[in-house]
Amino acid sequence: MAGVIMAVLGLLAAEDLKYKAVTVWKLVLFGLVMLYSVSAYEGQDVFNDPFHYLKRQAGCAFLGFIGMFIVSVIPCEWWKKLSFPSYVLSFLMCAAVIVVGKGSNGSTRWLKIGPIQLQPSEIAKIAVIIFMAALLSRIPKQVKDLKSIIKVLLFVLPMVGVIAVSNLSTAIIVGGIAVLMIFVVSPKTKEFFVLGAGLVALGAIGVKMGGYRVTRIAAWLHPEDYPDEVYQTLQGMYAIGSGGLFGKGLGASVQKLGYVPEAQNDFIFTIICEELGLFGAVCVILLFVLLLWRCMVIANNAPDLFSSLLVVGVMSHIALQVVLNIMVVTNWMPNTGIILPFFSYGGTSILILITEMGLVLNVSRRIKFDSNHPIE
């Protein structure tokens, strides 16, 4: 509980933009503490090492901070020039997953290159953010009606489609990032309601692409008829309910002892609720809200449109994953396999997330402070 309070206070104290790196450090550290608490039992049981998941996550986080530092000092103009090549490379990697991808737990989402195993769909998120920022910053005044919005989305549709073949939930996140970035640039609003209806239709088609997706939705609507499919969700709900107001204490969860499958992944928030209670859950949500707020401040004061859109893209990525993950674990929507940023286990995910924060730091570093025009 003390770790939660310290993290919140640390984020509140990071009023100056130059301290944002420290804020990210504290958020990642809190995530590692919770990951160890959740995964130690399974690590000992499966790998005979309670630190198995922690060591892997910490290693990837370390690489992420190196990436964050490098990204934060590279001029933004370079990222604009690299936007299209990085998008194409990411697309090819995602396409390669379909052909030579490595499977795990019934899903084929990973690509193995020598001793390195990575998830290209996570790399696609940052590639789409940079690509969309570069594209929209060149044609901001042309994105003014539904036709032009659809034309812009057509550039991202191939990426969304190739990811959806093996990972519909990540495809939704990538598509959502693109839509939110266009929404910021476009002066229209009603067109997005029409666009939303179209995306729902595309989502329905995506569901039809895999029978297990239909089963998940049916299990969500009628859990009594699908006891095996809703087992993880029910156990997660038991964990949330048993936490009470202040939880059972850090490390004292019962549901993580084999009752909630893969608790260190998608359902880590349920164990946070069990160990830290409603208070801890609210603190975690508050951490994300404050982080997103600081990103919004940076986006509003960015020196140019491209830089502002980079931050908007990172904001969209984090916000979408947090909202959808919490909705899934609280049974507000079908189980989709979306992880909680900075907390859930996933090497490629934590590496890319921290590297994305380097883009935010890059933009904040170039904001010029003026006493006559305070930061908004």
120-147 confidence digits (pLDDT tens):
999 999 999 999 999 999 988 888 777 8
Contact in structure between 206 and 171 (CB atoms under 8 Å) = yes
Question: What is the pLDDT averaged over residues 2-11?
Answer: 46
d(CA 174, CA 167): 11
Q: Which residues contact 63 (CB under 8 A, 6 or more apart)?
A: 351
What is the predicted pLDDT for the residue at 335? 83
Q: Which of 61-75, 82-96, 185-199 has the weakest average pLDDT?
A: 185-199
Q: Give the whole-number percent of the chain exceeding pLDDT 70.
A: 86
Q: Which residues contact 192 (CB under 8 A, 6 or more apart)?
A: 149, 179, 183, 186
pLDDT band at residue 10 under the 50/70/90 scheme: very low
Contact in structure between 320 and 181 (CB atoms under 8 Å) = no
HSE at residue 333, side-chain half, CA atoms within 13 A, is 11
pTM exceeding the 0.85 threshold for the entire prediction = yes
d(CA 363, CA 307): 6
In the predicted structure, residue 20 carries a pLDDT above the cut 50: yes
- What one-character-per-residue DSSP string does 265-316 give? TTTHHHHHHHHHHHHHHHHHHHHHHHHHHHHHHHHHT-SSHHHHHHHHHHHH
What is the predicted pLDDT for the residue at 17? 47
What is the predicted pLDDT for the residue at 292? 92
Residue in the structure block whose two tokens are 């859930």: 344
Q: How far is CA 69 from CA 58, 209, 306, 358, in A?
A: 17, 40, 20, 6
Contact in structure between 20 and 14 (CB atoms under 8 Å) = yes
What is the predicted pLDDT for the residue at 150? 85
Q: Is 150 helix (H, G, I), strand (E, B) or coil?
A: helix
d(CA 183, CA 187): 8
Question: What is the pLDDT averaged over residues 5-17?
Answer: 44
Residue in the structure block whose two tokens are 């309070």: 5
